[in-house]
Amino acid sequence: MHAKPKLRKTSIIPVLCKVFIGTIGVFAILTTCFYHNELDVDGNLTIGFPWTFYREGSGYSPDLNEQVGYHEFEPLKLIGNILFAATLALMIFRIYSVTIRKR
């Protein structure tokens, strides 16, 4: 009789941990790289890539004849950025695993 090949069991928990940590890492790197704090220059602060999810600024309003400021936070764009980071992390892990297997 032929022996059955051993099935390789993979647990979903380590994979989810890798994806979660990879997503946080990619999100942090992209957010840090595309963080623009130019409050001293033009009065604008923008955070987010590929979609800007937070803006803050100030400036002079001739209509109101005073200094005004604003804060904009868009949670849907934040969720989109997190999903983009998760997709990018999965692609990086996939390319890495394919490259390692070929060796």
pLDDT in tens, 50-91: 999 999 988 887 888 888 888 999 999 999 999 999 999 999
Record the pTM. Answer: 0.76
Cα gap 22→71, rounded to integer Å? 29
Under 8 Å between Cβ of 60 and 43:
no
Question: What's the pLDDT at 101?
Answer: 74
The residue among 25, 24, 73 whose CA lies nearest residue 48 is 73
Phi then psi for 92, rounded to 5 degrees?
-65, -45
CA dihedral sign of residues 98, 99, 100, 102:
positive
Measure the N-to-C terminal CA separation of the chain; round to a whole number of Å: 34
* CB 39, CB 32: distance < 8 Å: no
- Show the tokens assigned to 70: 């604003």
Give CA–CA dist 94/102, Å, rounded. Answer: 13
Residue 23: pLDDT above 90? yes
Binned at pLDDT 50, 70 and 90, residue 7 comes out as: low
